[in-house]
């Protein structure tokens, strides 16, 4: 058996998504900027996709812009707001994805704005009192805080943060890459100026994402070139990606309750099996709390053991694909910046399991056994 439990890193394509993309891979190849019928066919598919996404998020299609994914979207929005809107202070947290943190490092190194980091509590949640203080001291800031953390799954309260931002006339951007397609975002109910999504995190294709930018916010493009995306992002559009993105999101919204309860059951099952089979196991951040964490992520904190060195390797040999911290940084031997920022014990191993609607209970039982037997073996 080979089990894939790394869905926060990327997800398999849904066959309905492949079917929707197929004509645009095979026959509908026109450049959407061309005015002939081949071009118009592609243009029409893009605008249809934009409308689908806008309706699901309850915004206007003119507020959706396609990008190559979450990283580009975060870079574009954050740099755009700082460059174009005269923002001199940015408030964020140390557990954001590198798509945000490294963008902020760049902004800081260029002297474009001061970066302030909000304190986190012992579970890795935002200290909202400190956020309010920072906003009091720095009105007219940009706040960039993610919805759900990709490593520990902790969920932030977008409504509450949005209201704090409103009181201090600040802009609010959220990296929603881990929650788009898995939670409903009704943007009419949130004081959010921008958010981003990435199709490969919800069974769509890789290399395509979007940014929502609230109407009326005039920010400069990040990628200069042709007049695509209403002058906000130069470059010929990834038509089949855009079609696949919209289809994937449509499916997620159509079946969200069913997917959610299936995945929540898998997460609960894994927690109960590990609690029963593995002495000294606990969970990083608040990932075992179903109310306060993303239902598709469980970050397991393992006992001190020589086994921790080769943990992911041995799980892989045993047939389980999972990751340690963020998969986006795998390949680098720097530890997880998230676990470090929340003060996790470096001597204890960490493995992030992340689930999808395609996982089964048998796969969860298999993974729990493979992980537990590694530790039993090393203690014997
Ligand atoms: N933001 C978060 C929270 C993520 O988890 C990821 C990918 O893991 C990204 C941004 C980057 O998205 P993409 O892979 O589409 O560039």
Residue 111 vs residues 88, 115, 136: alpha-carbon distances, Å: 9, 10, 22
Tell me: the pLDDT tens digits for 203-259? 999 999 999 999 999 999 999 999 999 999 999 999 999 999 999 999 999 999 999
List all residues 6 or more positions away from 137 whose beta carbon is below 8 Å from its beta carbon.
Answer: none
- Whether 78 and 107 share a structural domain: yes
- Whether 206 and 284 share a structural domain: no
Q: Is the CB of 150 under 6 A from ligand 1?
A: yes
Helical H segments across the chain, by residue range: 15-26, 37-57, 70-84, 98-109, 128-137, 158-167, 228-231, 239-254, 256-277, 311-317, 337-341, 361-379
- Whether 132 and 231 share a structural domain: yes
Tell me: the pLDDT tens digits for 262-278? 999 999 999 999 999 99
Tell me: the pLDDT tens digits for 157-204? 999 999 999 999 999 999 999 999 999 999 999 999 999 999 999 999
pTM: 0.96
- Whether 137 and 176 share a structural domain: yes
- Whether 229 and 275 share a structural domain: no
Tell me: the pLDDT tens digits for 345-368? 888 999 999 999 999 999 999 999
Residue where one domain finishes, among candidates 254, 279, 310: 254
Residue 329 vs residues 98, 300, 325, 335: alpha-carbon distances, Å: 9, 18, 8, 9
Q: What sign results for the dihedral spanned by CA atoms 92, 97, 99, 105?
A: positive
Cα 374 to averaged position of ligand 1 atoms, centre (Å) = 30
Asked whether the beta carbons of 139 and 170 are under 8 A apart, the reply is yes
- Whether 200 and 277 share a structural domain: no
One DSSP character per residue, 168-203 reads TT-EEEE--TTTBTTB---TTSS--SEEEEEGGGTT
The number of domains in the chain is 2
- The domain that holds 93 is classified in CATH as 3.40.640.10
Mutate to test the pocket of ligand 1, among 73, 100, 144, 177 (most ligand atoms within 8 A of CB): 177
Backbone angles phi, psi at 93, to 5 degrees: -135, 160
**Which run of H or E residues covers position 92?**
strand 89-92
pLDDT, residue 324, reads: 84
328 is catalytic: yes
Q: Is the CB of 71 under 6 A from ligand 1?
A: yes
- Whether 122 and 215 share a structural domain: yes
Distance from C-alpha of 303 to C-alpha of 159, rounded to nearest angstrom: 37
**Number of the ligand 1 atom closest to the C-alpha atom of 74:** 10
- Whether 86 and 199 share a structural domain: yes
- The domain that holds 299 is classified in CATH as 3.90.1150.10
Mutate to test the pocket of ligand 1, among 99, 100, 178, 329 (most ligand atoms within 8 A of CB): 99
Q: Is the CB of 151 under 6 A from ligand 1?
A: no
Print the domain residue range for 180. 15-254
Angle at 335 between CA 302 and CA 287, to 5 degrees: 45
Residue where one domain finishes, among candidates 254, 274, 309: 254
- Whether 75 and 160 share a structural domain: yes
Q: Exposure of 264 by Cβ count < 10 A (0-12 exposed, 13-18 middle, 19+ buried)?
A: middle
- Whether 113 and 249 share a structural domain: yes
Strands 64-67 and 209-213: antiparallel
């Amino acid at each position: 058996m080979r089990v894939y439990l790394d869905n926060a890193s990327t997800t398999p394509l849904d066959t309905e998504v492949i079917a929707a993309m197929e004509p645009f891979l095979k026959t509908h190849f026109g450049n959407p900027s061309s005015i002939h019928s081949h071009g118009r066919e592609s243009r029409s598919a893009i605008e249809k996709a934009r409308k689908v996404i806008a309706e699901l998020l309850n915004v206007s299609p003119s507020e959706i812009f396609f990008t190559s994914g979450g990283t580009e979207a975060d870079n574009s929005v954050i740099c755009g707001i700082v460059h174009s809107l005269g923002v001199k202070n940015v408030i964020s947290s140390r557990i954001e994805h590198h798509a945000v943190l490294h963008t902020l490092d760049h902004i800081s190194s260029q002297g474009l704005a001061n970066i302030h980091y909000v304190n986190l509590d012992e579970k890795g949640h935002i200290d909202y009192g400190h956020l309010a203080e920072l906003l009091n001291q720095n009105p007219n800031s940009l706040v960039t805080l993610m919805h759900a953390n990709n490593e520990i799954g902790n969920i932030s309260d977008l409504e509450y943060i949005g209201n704090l931002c409103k009181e201090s006339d600040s802009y609010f951007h959220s990296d929603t890459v881990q929650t788009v397609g898995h939670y409903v975002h009704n943007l009419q109910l949130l004081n959010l100026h921008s958010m981003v999504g990435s199709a490969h995190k919800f069974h769509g294709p890789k290399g395509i994402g979007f940014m929502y930018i609230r109407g009326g916010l005039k920010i400069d493009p990040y990628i200069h070139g042709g007049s695509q995306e209403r002058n906000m992002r130069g470059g010929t559009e990834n038509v089949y990606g855009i079609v696949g993105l919209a289809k994937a999101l449509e499916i997620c919204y159509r079946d969200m309750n069913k997917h959610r309860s299936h995945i929540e059951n898998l997460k609960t099952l894994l927690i109960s099996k590990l609690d029963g089979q593995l002495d000294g196991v606990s969970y990083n951040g608040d990932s075992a709390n179903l109310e306060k964490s993303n239902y598709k992520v469980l970050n397991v904190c393992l006992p001190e053991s020589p086994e921790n060195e080769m943990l992911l390797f041995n799980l892989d040999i045993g047939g389980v694909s999972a990751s340690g911290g963020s998969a986006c940084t795998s390949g680098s031997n720097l530890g997880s910046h998230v676990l470090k920022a929340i003060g996790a014990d470096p001597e204890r191993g960490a493995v992030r399991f992340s689930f999808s609607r395609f996982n089964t209970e048998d796969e969860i039982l298999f993974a729990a056994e493979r992980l537990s037997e590694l530790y039993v073996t090393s203690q014997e």
